[in-house]
Amino acid sequence: MNEAAPARAAGVHNERPEFVREGELTKEFGVVEKPLTVAERLFNNGALRKVVLLLIIGAIWEWYARHLNNPLLVPTLSSTLQAFWEAILTGAMPARVATSVRLLFQGYGVGLLLAFVFTTLAITTRIGNDLLELLTSMFNPLPAIALLPLALIWFGLGDKSIIFVVVHSVLWAVALNTHSGFRSVSTTMRMVGRNYGLGGLRLVFKVLIPAAFPSILTGLKIGWAFAWRTLIAAELVYGAASGQGGLGWFIYESKNQLEIPSVFAGLFAVILIGLFVENVIFRGIETRTVRRWGMQT
C-alpha cells in the first residue's frame, strides 16, 4: 500500500507554489456579529405575525358584514364580540363551557386509559398487536358521530352517550400514534432498559413511554381535536338532556331563536378554547418535554 505514494505524486500538477501569509490578517471586514434591526426582530416573532394576521382577518370580516348589512346572515365582528361578552356576563356562556369541558375531560380520560391498555397489550403480546391493528383499521375511519344513534339506544339521552362517542373519537387516534411510537423506539434503548433489569410495565413506564413521547404527544393532540369536534357535534345533534347543555347546544338554541350574533359567539368560544389548548397547554408540554430533550426541533 505504501508504494502507492510516489505513484500518486507523479501524475499531479505540482507547479503551484506554496504560500503562507505573514503578519496580521486584515481587520477591515466590519462587525462580525451585527444585531438585527427592531423591525427584523419583530418580524421574527411568530406570535406577533399571527396576531397581525388575525387583526387583518377581523378587519375584513367587520368590513364585509357592514357592507352586506344583513345581521341574520353575517353579523359584524363587533356585534359577535358584544354577544359573547353579554353571554359571559349573564353566566350562560361559562356554564355551557363548563359542561362541555367536563364532558370532554371525562371522554378524553376514559379514551386515554383504554388506549393505554390496548397499546400495552399490543407491545407485550403478538395477539394484542393483531387485535389493535385490526380494531384501529376498522374503527379509526368510522366517524364518531355516526355512532350517536346507536349510543342513544344503548345509553339513552344523557352524558353517557356523549362520552361514549368522545371515547370512540379519542381512543383510536391515540392508540394508533402511541403504538407506532412504541414500535419506533430503538432496539438499543430497549436493550439498555433490559440491561438494568427493567421489564414488563416498568420498561413501558421508564423507557418506552418517554422514548415514544413525541408520537404520543402527536396522538394526544389529534385525539383532543377529534374529541372536541365530536363533542360539539354531538351536543348540536341532541343538545341538552340533563337540563344543562354544552356549547353545541348553546349554538343550536341561539339559531332557533334567530340570535345569529350568539351563534357566532358560540363558535367563537369553540375556536378560543381550541386555540388555548393547542397554543398554551400542548405548546407548554412540548417546550417542557420533547423540545427540551432535543427529540423535536
Partner 1 sequence: MNSMSPSQAPLLQVSGVTLQYKTRDHLVTATYRVSFDVYPSDRFVLLGPSGCGKSTLLKAVGGYMSPTEGTLKLKGQTIRKPGPDRCMVFQEFDQLLPWKTVKKNVMFGLEASGKLRGRAAEEKAMQYIEKVNLAKFADSYPHMLSGGMKQRVAIARAMAMEPDILLMDEPFAALDALTRRKMQDELLQLWADTRFTVLFVTHSIPEAVLIGNRILMLSPHPGQVKAELNSDGSDPADSQGKKLSERIHDMLFSEQVEEMGPLGALPDARLVDRAGHHAVGGPLS
Query: Which is nearer to partner 1, 88 or 198 (by Cβ)?
Result: 198
Q: Minimal distance in Å, beta carbon 206 to partner 1?
A: 6
Min dist CB 5 to partner 1, Å, is 6
Stated as kind and residue range, the H or E segment containing 245 is: none
The residue with cell 383504554 is 114
**DSSP three-state, residue 108:** helix
Sole window of 45-53, 66-74, 195-203, 217-225 interacting with partner 1 (rule: CB under 8 A): 195-203
Using the minimum distance from each CB to partner 1, give the nearer residue, 210 or 274: 210
CA distance from start to end of the chain: 46
The CB-of-295 to partner 1 minimum distance in angstroms stands at: 5
Residue from 128, 210, 239, 274 binding partner 1 (CB under 8 A) = 210
Nearer to partner 1, 186 or 242 (CB): 186
Instruction: Give me the half-sphere count of Cα atoms (radius 13 Å) on the Cβ side of residue 220.
Output: 19
| Residue environment code for 137-176, b if the CB has 16+ CB neighbours within 10 A, otherwise e | eeeeeeebbebbeebbeeeeeebebbbbbbbbbbbbbbbb
Say how many residues touch partner 1, by CB under 8 A.
27
The residue range among 13-21, 93-101, 153-161, 287-295 that interacts with partner 1, by the rule CB under 8 A, is 287-295
Residues 148-187 binding partner 1 (CB under 8 A) are 186
283 binds partner 1 (CB under 8 A): no
C-alpha–C-alpha distance, residues 83 and 75, integer Å: 10
Phi/psi for 143 (5° steps) reads -65, 130
Ranges within 25-44 binding partner 1 (CB under 8 A)? none
Q: Which of 198, 222, 225, 237 binds partner 1 (CB under 8 A)?
A: 198
What sign does the dihedral 123-124-130-131 (CA atoms) show?
negative
User: Cell for 122?
Assistant: 399490543
**3-state SS assignment for residue 35:** coil
Out of 75, 107, 193, 261, the only residue in the binding site for partner 1 (CB under 8 A) is 193
Q: Between 148-155 and 213-238, two packed helices, what is the crossing angle to 10 degrees?
A: 70
Range in contact with partner 1 (rule: CB under 8 A) among 3-11, 49-57, 98-106, 122-130: 3-11
Residues in contact with partner 1 by the rule CB under 8 A: 1-2, 4-5, 8, 186, 188-189, 191-198, 202, 206-207, 210-211, 213, 289, 292-295
